[in-house]
Structure 1
Amino acid sequence: MDPVLAIAVLAGEGRRFVGEPLPSWIVWLAGLAVLVAIVVGGVLVKRRS
């Protein structure tokens, strides 16, 4: 799955969950944080095995 598409979907779900439109910079910041967490997690898992 394309990371950008995943972020867009997450952003859309987040907006729907909150019930009010979030500022786009918050959405992008959250998406970026998720992406960084996935990358860091993947690196740690690879290093451990």
Structure 2
Amino acid sequence: MFLEKVTIKKKIEPTIYYKIIASYRDKDGKTKHRLIQNLGVLYETDA
């Protein structure tokens, strides 16, 4: 599992979302990612 930071750039200020992602292998053995939990938004002014 890992924490993913997703930044959406907007005109006023960027919006930052955090997600918990789990890695797994499919039936063919390829690595995939699965969203476990969306933790929400963190604004630059809150950090």
TM-score by length of 1: 0.20
TM-score by length of 2: 0.20
State the structure with bigger RCO (CA 8 A, min sep 6), 1 or 2: 1
Higher Cα Rg, which structure = 2
- Identify the structure with the greater helix proportion: 1
